[in-house]
Amino acid sequence: MFRTTLMTAAAAALTLASGAAAQEQGAKPAAKAPKAMVSSGHPLVTQAMIEVLKKGGNAMDAALTGAILQNVVEPQMVSLAGALTALYYDAKTKQYYYLDADLDHTAKGAPTVPGWAQVTGGPLPTEATSGQLVAVPGAVAGLKAAADKFGTLKWSQYFQPAIKTAEQGFPMYSFLYGEMADAALGRLSAYPSGREEFLPNGYVPPVGSNVQRPRLAATMRRLANEGPDYFYTGDFSRRFVAEVQKTGGSLSQEDMAGYKVRWIEPLRFTYKGREIISAPPPGTAGALMAVAMNVVEPWDLKAGGHYTQSAESLFKIRSAFGFAEDMTDGFIQDPETFNVPTSVLTSKAFSAQLTALIDGSMPKVAATKSAAAENDALVLAGGFDHSDVHASDTDHIIVADAQGNIVSLTHSVMGATFATGLVVDGVVVNGGNYFPGRNLAKGRRVVSGFAPTMVAEAGVPTLAIGSPGLTSRAIALTLINHYGYDMPLEQAVDAARFQGSQQGRAMSIEGRITDEVRAQMKELYGVTVKITTPYNWHFGSIHAAAKQPDGTWLGVADPRRGGFAAGY
């Protein structure tokens, strides 16, 4: 549960010294360092990872330490009972490795896609808090598999910063407060366990109060001492299954005990002469990025103008993402149970046809006016479409160590913030997912949208990047801005992003677009452009580390959330 106390002057000073006060939205200067770089969603996590590196740990050691700590300080986004994916570059072997520790479906299936009722013949649960949403978690198994393959620390050591923070507390910050206040009206009030864990006094703890999580600390201590068996076959597993079943779920002890991680060959494609290494199926993100970026690649983006200043550019790039989402949603499935035409989808020849379709459908007439878009009451009603099947509340970590090893790691609570609202021994229960794909059968992986990604030149990574939220769109747009528009990395991360039903007649974009573009999008293409906040945290939160020509590192954390990059 959350225990909250007023912070003492000494604790407040320590908080400011640690950088925790920087855990807010807003622009942050890029970090520069000669040896190593990390970027995460919370300054305390960044600080913990830097300490691991300075004490001799490698990139994977730091990433696992940070990922476990994020469960304490960012419980709305991640969970030990959630999912984890990671892309790792091993400097000694010069090889890339992709870890899939995503959710598995149970024998009866879980309603993870809009068409679930049609696929299974069963009814779709109407409540976001239903235990029917819960799938077998992979995060803990993924942590252990990564530690065994690439880590150098003892298993218990990865948990020490998280246990310490959970016991001693951390300051409530406005971003977490806002998410808790929103969820408190529904999911966090649905079950006694959620209320006890996060609303101990009947309300969200105020910003600035010291938040302690003793239940989670106790669970982490046992997990650290007893290993993953405690989670998948031991005491925790039995309580977890019992609580999920009480809320309508079909999860069993057999399902938990049978979970296996997968090491998969990463997906690869090129953009502007650089190799992109990203998530393979059963994830959609790597293929989605490949299709969208392949479609965009032939266009002279700088000559056409930036998509925030050119209606034609915005329409074309939006259309590229529309094709990419349609194609990957339709064909990317679990390769262990389906034939997946990945090589066709990611080929330049296939995307060339889509580029030609877009080029061949442009209007023959110019816009007749350049006034502001009409009906501001409508176009200003934008925001975030929570029904978007590519969305999930997620977190990301980037680590590059002094030896050249690099990690890009995405993990998630899998669903809306705090998932179903059920909590077991301090651990938030996953919410299945909202991603598309025909993947409902025993042992079949979730078709997720996570995209831990690297960019390589001559086989060696020069950029590690990832994002929560609309992961593949955020990353692909950043890479298009960086390599297509030749923007510096910080500007590419900052640039406005959009969301919208690609086949529909409306879209949302961050409010850094001209009125003329909005008007022309409506007049020429029939698309109503809704304006959301200039920096919308739902539209992704990029973390990146880039190797500079002089061998130093540049680290970036997105202004849309409270991330923080640092190096040494």
How many whole angstroms separate alpha carbon 280 and alpha carbon 457? 20
How many whole angstroms separate alpha carbon 345 and alpha carbon 419? 32
Q: Which two tokens stand for residue 393?
A: 């509340």
How many whole angstroms separate alpha carbon 117 and alpha carbon 94? 45
How many whole angstroms separate alpha carbon 509 and alpha carbon 521? 12
Task: Spell out the per-residue pLDDT of the chain, length 568, in tens.
Answer: 667 665 443 343 334 334 444 557 888 889 999 999 999 999 999 999 999 999 999 999 999 999 999 999 999 999 999 999 999 999 999 999 999 999 987 644 444 444 333 333 333 344 778 888 899 999 999 999 999 999 999 999 999 999 999 999 999 999 999 999 999 988 899 999 999 999 989 999 999 999 999 999 999 999 999 999 999 999 999 999 999 999 988 899 999 999 999 999 999 999 999 999 999 999 899 999 999 999 999 999 999 999 999 999 999 999 999 999 999 988 988 888 888 999 999 999 999 999 999 999 999 888 876 555 555 555 555 666 655 656 566 899 999 999 999 999 999 998 888 999 999 999 999 988 656 554 545 557 777 888 999 999 999 999 999 998 778 899 999 999 999 999 999 999 999 999 876 666 889 999 999 999 999 999 999 999 999 999 998 899 999 999 999 999 999 999 999 899 999 9
Going by C-alpha positions, the residue among 247, 126, 239, 240 that lies closest to residue 191 is 247
Q: What is the pLDDT of residue 369?
A: 61
In the DSSP assignment, the letter for residue 90 is: E
Element counts in the chain: helices (H) and strands (E): 22, 22
Across-strand partners of 276?
269, 455
> Left if phi > 0, otherwise alpha if psi is -120 to 50, otherwise beta: which for 383?
left
Q: What is the pLDDT of residue 24?
A: 75
Give this prediction's pTM: 0.92
Q: Which two tokens stand for residue 438?
A: 């025909």
Q: What is the pLDDT of residue 217?
A: 98
Q: Which two tokens stand for residue 563?
A: 């991330």
Neighbours of 550 (CB within 10 A): 6
How many whole angstroms separate alpha carbon 54 and alpha carbon 62? 10
Question: Residue 226, class by beta-carbon neighbours within 10 Å (0-12 exposed, 13-18 middle, 19+ buried)?
Answer: middle
DSSP-derived 3-state class of residue 33: strand
Across-strand partners of 4?
211
Q: What is the pLDDT of residue 403?
A: 97
How many whole angstroms separate alpha carbon 532 and alpha carbon 536? 7
How many whole angstroms separate alpha carbon 214 and alpha carbon 228? 20
The residue type at 563: G
- Give me the phi and psi of 290, to 5 degrees please: -60, -45
Q: What is the pLDDT of residue 5?
A: 62
Instruction: Judge whether 527 and 378 are in contact, CB under 8 Å.
Output: no
State the helix-helix crossing angle for 348-359 and 285-296, rounded to 10 degrees.
50
- Give me the phi and psi of 3, to 5 degrees please: -110, 130
Q: Count of residues for the chain? A: 568
- What dihedral angle (degrees, nearest 10) is formed by the CA atoms of 214, 562, 447, 264? -90
Q: Which two tokens stand for residue 490?
A: 């910080």
How does DSSP assign 353-415, residue by residue? HHHHHHHTT--SS--S--SPPS-HHHHT-----TT-TT---EEEEEEE-TTS-EEEEEEE-SS
**Which residues in 216-364 belong to E strands, given as ranges?**
262-264, 267-271, 274-278
- Give me the phi and psi of 453, to 5 degrees please: -140, 150
How many whole angstroms separate alpha carbon 54 and alpha carbon 46? 12
Q: Which residues contact 192 (CB under 8 A, 6 or more apart)?
A: none
Across-strand partners of 529?
507
DSSP-derived 3-state class of residue 291: helix
How many whole angstroms separate alpha carbon 403 and alpha carbon 88? 13
The residue type at 465: I
Strand 31-33, strand 274-278: pairing: unpaired
Instruction: Judge whether 391 and 541 are in contact, CB under 8 Å.
Output: no
Which residue is listed with tokens 């392949």? 294
In the DSSP assignment, the letter for residue 137 is: -
Q: Which two tokens stand for residue 277?
A: 């290494």
How many whole angstroms separate alpha carbon 66 and alpha carbon 461? 22
Q: What is the pLDDT of residue 1?
A: 65
